Structure 1
Amino acid sequence: MAACFLFEALSGSHMLRFFNRLSKNRLPWVLLACSALALEAAALYFQYQLKLDPCVLCVYERTAVMGIVLSGLIAILAPELLIVRGLAILIWGGSAGWGLQLALKHTGIQLFPSPSNTCDFVASYPGWAKLDEWIPWMFQPTGFCDEIQWQFFGFTMPQTMIGVYAVYLLILLIVVLSQFVKKERSIFRN
């Protein structure tokens, strides 16, 4: 059965219908939420095991990733309902777009340091969502944005997150486009 789904997904004319059907099932939304949770777990591993201090932009990027987790959890409730899928898609898009913007800014600060290209030291969450006070072990910044503490194949943490957010946005684009596909009618079915 999985091989049939894969074959159908790879045939270009049916790809959007395939993603439309996927978006109406819980499993892809569970995978979306789990992938973002894995990123959050990695961030906490870097912070508490590798002793890398998160900066303000780091904790904001964590917030954006939590938005992606939230979007998956919302869609899991009733993915077959367009209103629920639509809300999840909006949160997913807003979170991934904001995260990409933050990662680009963070990369700019690290690669092109200057007195005019800086970030705050203290988080400024809105009063209705003081995550740095409510969940300080996850959202309390303790580092500096211009400090490069980690690299993977020459890419810094925010550069890696640019790629992550870009992938989330690419998949989102396909899912959004798939929502506008009309149901295929067959002469052999009612």
Structure 2
Amino acid sequence: MTVFNSLIKDFTQAPVPTLARWQEGRVLWAVMLFAAVFLLLSAMGYFQVFLGMAPCELCVYIRFSQCCIVIAGAIILINPRNHILKAIGVVLAVYAVAQGMDWSIKLMHIHDAAHLVVDESMDFFAEAGSAAGSACSTEPRFPLGLPLDKWLPFEFAPTGGCGEDDWSLLGMNMAHYCIIAYTVFAIGLTAAIVGWLAVLLGHKSAKSRI
């Protein structure tokens, strides 16, 4: 608790220098990596195996984005002070978070459309919007044409339908929790980038004084 309080105190007193210091260490990137690993293991272990919920097309895309976050974290962890590795990892992480958020929002809309309570007075297509006509494919198209569903079918082969799950916790489904997770990733990644840019600008200003 004392260490945590010290970190909070450092951040409140000097936020940008503190972020700069944190992003040059391994803890921040390790947390990002293991958070993505936890999400992947939860999807495969708890939902797919324990609950028997088959992943849909959007589900496997979301898993792909989480794998990209794991790879990005691993690249940066090699040497968090190496700007080339940092640039590669950050670009991959930003792509993964942006895509993961987009896929999660689409899944949420489809899930909400699939679970609409329709009566005779309701126009289903007007209520559901564009998600009403959405459908999942059993032949996913991953970026760069990667045949991940052939290489790792247990994780990446879609065998379920989008929005068919009835799982919820505190009134929210998996798509909602994915959106929350990607929001946290985005906040943490933005903070790390701010710290990294502070370091880069510091190096430039130091060079200009020489």
TM-score, normalised to structure 1, is 0.88
- Answer whether contact 2:73 2:89 (CA < 8 A) is retained: yes
- Answer whether contact 1:52 1:149 (CA < 8 A) is retained: no
**Structure 1 consecutive aligned stretches of length 4 or more whose deviation exceeds 6 Å:** none
Instruction: Report the Cα distance in structure 1 between the residues aligned to 2:43 and 2:36, rounded to whole angstroms.
Output: 11
Query: Are residues 180 and 125 of structure 1, via their aligned partners in 2, closer, same or farther at CA, if it must alter by over 3 Å?
Result: closer
Counterpart residue number, 2:85: 84
Q: Is 1:141–2:158 an aligned residue pair? A: yes
Q: Is 1:68–2:85 an aligned residue pair? A: no
Counterpart residue number, 1:37: 37
Counterpart residue number, 2:51: 50
Instruction: Report the Cα distance in structure 1 between the residues aligned to 2:166 and 2:149, rounded to whole angstroms.
Output: 22
Cα shift readout 1:44-75 (whole Å, capped 9, x = no counterpart)? 12101111111010010000011110111000
Task: Work out the percentage of aligned pairs sharing the same amino acid.
Answer: 24
State the shift of 1:150 in Å.
Answer: 1.1
- Structure 2 segments unaligned to the other structure (5+ residues): 115-124, 126-131, 203-210
Q: Is 1:152–2:166 an aligned residue pair? A: no
State the shift of 1:128 in Å.
Answer: 4.8
Instruction: Report the Cα distance in structure 1 between the residues aligned to 2:109 and 2:153, rounded to whole angstroms.
Output: 26
Q: Write 1 or 2 for the structure with the bigger share of helix.
A: 2
- Answer whether contact 1:56 1:144 (CA < 8 A) is retained: yes
Q: Is 1:131–2:148 an aligned residue pair? A: yes
TM-score, normalised to structure 2, is 0.80
Which structure's CA Rg is the greater one?
2
- Structure 1 segments unaligned to the other structure (5+ residues): 184-190
- The letter for the 2-side match of 1:4 is S
